[in-house]
Amino acid sequence: MFPIFPPTPQIDFDLAPDRDGDAFFRGVSPSGQPIFTVRQDFVMTQRTAFHEIGHAYEALLQRQDASVDWRAQYWAFRGFPGTWQQAAAEAATKTGMAQWIAQPQESWAEAFSIAMVGGGQEKTLDYGRTINPIATRQFFQSLLNP
């Protein structure tokens, strides 16, 4: 569905159970492999897996063409107010879960997850614009075919 992904990701050793968060996208290796890790006591769910894959998708798009503001395209698609940069600046004034909920990169990953799973409740700020999973999947796919 997304040919930008290499055939295999890099899976790092599990994190200790006392770490905050369940799973993490840790970046892209020099060869272009997404790097993931999971807390050792966390049982992976589809929603969490696709959320982290959503982060990797954004990073791979950026790696493919850094001149495109991929997040701005997402922000416009969702019809969110202002810019993603303004939202990021506002999120930076918050702490804990309130910060996570307001971060544009987390919104992207949540939307990607819901689009891939086919439904679910968004955990990030949606500005009153509920995700349409089918339209959102089409949006993410369209980024590979400008």
Q: Is the pLDDT of residue 10 over 70?
A: yes
Residue 137 lies in a domain: yes
What per-residue confidence (pLDDT) applies to 146?
64
Dist CA 13 CA 143 (whole Å): 31
pLDDT tier, 107 (very low <50, low <70, confident <90, very high otherwise): very high
Q: Residue 15 half-sphere exposure, CB side, CA atoms within 13 Å? A: 16
Higher confidence at residue 61 or residue 145? 61
Task: Mark 37-54 as b/e (b = at least 16 C-beta within 10 Å).
Answer: bbbeeeeeeebbbbbbbb
Residue 129 lies in a domain: yes
Q: Can you tell me the mean pLDDT for 77-106?
A: 97
Residue 137: domain span? 10-142
Give the CA distances from residue 119 to residues 50, 111, 115, 144, in Å, rounded to whole numbers and listed in that order: 12, 10, 7, 22
Dist CA 93 CA 83 (whole Å): 16
pLDDT tier, 52 (very low <50, low <70, confident <90, very high otherwise): very high
Domain count for the chain: 1
CB 61 within 8 A of CB 143: yes
What per-residue confidence (pLDDT) applies to 21?
84
Residue 69 lies in a domain: yes
pLDDT tier, 99 (very low <50, low <70, confident <90, very high otherwise): very high
Strands 23-28 and 34-38: antiparallel
Dist CA 85 CA 14 (whole Å): 32
| pLDDT tens, residue by residue, 116-127 | 999 999 999 999
What per-residue confidence (pLDDT) applies to 68?
97
Residue 47 lies in a domain: yes
Residue 3 lies in a domain: no
What are the contacts of 91-96 at 24+ separation with CB within 8 A? none
% of the chain residues with pLDDT over 70:
99
Residue 67 lies in a domain: yes
Q: Is the pLDDT of residue 75 over 70?
A: yes
